[in-house]
Structure 1
Amino acid sequence: MEKENNAWIDGLFSHSYAEARQKFLSAAARRGLAVESHELALAGADGETLATDVVLDGPADASRMLLVISGVHGVEGFCGSAVQTGMLLRAREGADALRDTAVLHVHAVNPFGFSHLRRVTQENVDLNRNFVDFDKPLPVNPGYAEIHELLLPAVWPPQAEVEAALAAYRDRHGARGLQRAMSLGQHGFADGMFFGGHRPTWSNVIFRRILQRHAPKVRQLASIDVHTGLGAYGVGERIFASFDEDPAVLARAERWWGELTSVTSGTSTSIPLTGPIQTAITEECRGAQHLGICLEYGTWPSERVTGALRAEHWLHRHGDTDPARAAAIRQALKDAFYPDAADWKLAVWQQASQACLRALEGLQEDASQAMLA
């Protein structure tokens, strides 16, 4: 095993989607693990192939599984990809003792956004707002309708009166109310922010297909969905991401991962979302008891992150005849969600690897208790 020093950790991270994908594929090859690739029929930012890649580390018929997900929000994939690559490369001490247990890595669920430095998919859809029942009336977010034109005005940077109107909305509804109006999810503005779509996206369909193939025999399922952009710099907030409201389920999750936050109780930096990806886990893995967390790493102050998001969506909506400014806007979005700094990367790896190991230990402990019962 290579020593997990700062240089090794830094090497897990990449400067582009293409580099991140190659490191992930190389790590799988080094372990002799097969890769299942779902290619998207669009080119990457540098003309590269775009794909959601899947690696199963462990027995195909395992009844216990840890699911690790990266790139739900494309540009956030730099973080999750590094975690997955590191988990494939790290020491395998005691691997034989992981009875009936596998790790399923789903790399770059949204490869288009990852490559093109967008948070959304090729359909301009926020994937974490797309897992809704499209056969029923779609969720309505009246708050977003009030601020859509303020968030993405015709002129960028926004004029003073635009920012004043947005501040007035925040004064009326509070900071949390503005966050809810903006990021809850909306289905009324296809060119807007946090758009949930009018139908399942390609990424939605592929993710469900992956679960249908790899998880039908799973009875105990743990999931870690890696995100960035909310919270304090380098801190990985562990957000409870199981839909089962039984207090015993939360208690079990906290035995594994320690204290967790919750979007429903208001203890999380995030808010409840319409159509998160965990919906698919619940619907496609009905035979499994699911314990999941979103591991949300803080980057920079929320004003910087929100400003970068607005600018990039403005660019998508209105375009820009200045190539240099367009490139700067895209780079600013990448920087907002991926601090390319050694201390941040170290914090990411230490917390993520611990979360993964705790999940595997929890699955094994539960199995041992079941045998003794």
Structure 2
Amino acid sequence: MTAANYFSATYTEAREKFRTAAKAAGADLISYVNPNKGPDGGELATDVARIGSRDARRLLIGMSATHGAEGFCGSGIQTGWLGEQQFSALPSDTAILLIHAINPFGFAWVRRVNEDNIDLNRNFIDHTKPYPENAGYRELRDFICPQTWDADSAARSNAAFDDYARRHSTIDLQAAIMNGQYWDKEGVFYGGNAPNWSHRTLLAALSPYAATVTHAAFIDLHTGLGPSGYGEIISNHTGPAPGATRVRKWFGAEVTMIDDGSSTSTAVTGDTQIGVDAALPHTQVTGITLEYGTVPVPAMIESVRADNWLHIHGNLDSELGRRIKKQIRDAFYTDERQWKETVFARAVDVLHRSMTGLSKPDLVAA
């Protein structure tokens, strides 16, 4: 079987492949059922597979579909890891936890967000405190999320974006749109005003390990930024944090950092690393985002804006609706054999380097 066969065309197919591979690998499976249904009326769930001892002191966590539409890639990687028995030489003190489709609604409906229009990677924030302000988003809101989706509205929005980039910078424009906001419930990159279902599910899936795991590695699988097919290793830690030091030890010069400008990603608020740290408060967690490129950033952002307009104002069953759904799928998943083969090979390499990092005392020490 080639790596391309691990990838799926729908959430339902991806879930079946993952569960079948997990059972064949002898994994323990737990399912967290989402209260919503998929477009086919089928069940939505986050499936969690564990290989290794329940009492292991070291834990490698791999998660897919933080952003639902990115689950096509992440699920294929997880299924391939299981199908190729990448964990056959697992040390006795180490366990693997694969969290499949943490945002099953977004995966099934081919949306980046969840059932509440919330971006999960902006939701892990202290909701009891004042939310951070995103002045750029507030300024550009009506151009980011127009009432209509046609050539005229596109021209107005692009003119406003060009003007903002001239007055600030292209990266500031990306940050204004993508960094997150907490007041516009019908807008893009909305972080929500309370922990959402996927947020609570991640904590529930990890909390049983809080008392036993001393060291953990976390790989959050993403797509949408960077050169097509390239897997960028982005540190989930910044500055002089011990986690950032460990990531550099594990991956060397390949690591990019959000805070020094080397990453394709801008800084976001409320990311999943915060949730992992909260669920494992006594664990030394080393986290990365493995980010695969698909299309250029402007095209990716446009797909998110188009999908947002479609679900707020448009008609899913229209010709325009079908074009937009294809647009966002293509923006976060390249359905070509060579892309899948390249993506999977990189993921296997990163997986084994993460396992090595966990296993060696000199690499887990900060």
Q: What RMSD in Å do the two structures reach over aligned CA positions?
A: 1.8
CA distance in 2, matches of 1:172, 1:320: 36
Call closer, same or farther: CA 1:75–1:369 in 2, change over 3 Å: closer
Gaps of 5+ in 1: 1-6
Question: What percentage of residue pairs aligned between the two structures are identical?
Answer: 40
1:190-233 deviations in whole A, cap 9, x for unaligned?
Answer: 00000010111110011111111234311011010000000000
TM-aligned CA deviation for residue 281 of structure 1: 1.3
Partner of residue 112 from structure 1, selected from 98, 105, 110: 105
Q: Does structure 1 retain, via aligned residues, the 8 Å contact 2:52–2:92? A: no
Counterpart in the other structure of 2:332: 337
TM-aligned CA deviation for residue 93 of structure 1: 7.5
Show structure 1 runs of 4+ deviating over 6 A. 367-370
CA distance in 2, matches of 1:354, 1:133: 35
Partner of residue 152 from structure 1, selected from 145, 154, 170: 145
Gaps of 5+ in 2: none
2:209 is the alignment partner of 1:217 = no
1:208 maps to a residue whose letter is L
Call closer, same or farther: CA 1:368–1:80 in 2, change over 3 Å: closer
> What number of residue pairs does the alignment pair up?
362
Q: What SS class does the counterpart of residue 169 from structure 2 fall into?
A: helix
2:271 is the alignment partner of 1:271 = no
Call closer, same or farther: CA 1:138–1:287 in 2, change over 3 Å: same
Counterpart in the other structure of 1:4: none
Q: What SS class does the counterpart of residue 15 from structure 1 fall into?
A: coil
Q: Does structure 2 retain, via aligned residues, the 8 Å contact 1:242–1:290? A: no
Q: Does structure 2 retain, via aligned residues, the 8 Å contact 1:99–1:364? A: no
CA distance in 1, matches of 2:53, 2:362: 16
TM-aligned CA deviation for residue 368 of structure 1: 10
1:258-297 superposed matches below 5 A: 258-259=252-253, 260-297=255-292
Counterpart in the other structure of 1:185: 180
Q: Does structure 1 retain, via aligned residues, the 8 Å contact 2:357–2:364? A: no
CA distance in 1, matches of 2:157, 2:278: 42
Counterpart in the other structure of 1:100: 93
Moved more, 18-27 or 327-336: 327-336
Q: What SS class does the counterpart of residue 322 from structure 2 fall into?
A: helix
TM-aligned CA deviation for residue 342 of structure 1: 1.1
Q: Does structure 2 retain, via aligned residues, the 8 Å contact 1:65–1:222? A: yes
Partner of residue 43 from structure 1, selected from 18, 37, 48: 37
2:61 maps to a residue whose letter is L
TM-aligned CA deviation for residue 249 of structure 1: 4.2
Call closer, same or farther: CA 1:368–1:17 in 2, change over 3 Å: closer
2:328 is the alignment partner of 1:351 = no
Call closer, same or farther: CA 1:93–1:54 in 2, change over 3 Å: closer
2:278 maps to a residue whose letter is E
1:85-106 deviations in whole A, cap 9, x for unaligned?
Answer: 111121357625x130001001
CA distance in 2, matches of 1:119, 1:79: 13
1:141-196 deviations in whole A, cap 9, x for unaligned?
Answer: 12111111101212212522332122111211110111111111001110000001
2:103 maps to a residue whose letter is N
What is the TM-score of this pair, normalised by structure 1? 0.93
1:58-106 deviations in whole A, cap 9, x for unaligned?
Answer: 100000010001000000001111111111121357625x130001001
Q: What SS class does the counterpart of residue 258 from structure 1 fall into?
A: helix
Counterpart in the other structure of 1:62: 56
CA distance in 1, matches of 2:209, 2:79: 20
Moved more, 11-20 or 251-260: 251-260
2:22 is the alignment partner of 1:22 = no
Q: What SS class does the counterpart of residue 220 from structure 2 fall into?
A: strand
2:219 is the alignment partner of 1:228 = no
TM-aligned CA deviation for residue 369 of structure 1: 9.2
CA distance in 2, matches of 1:140, 1:74: 25
Call closer, same or farther: CA 1:126–1:258 in 2, change over 3 Å: same
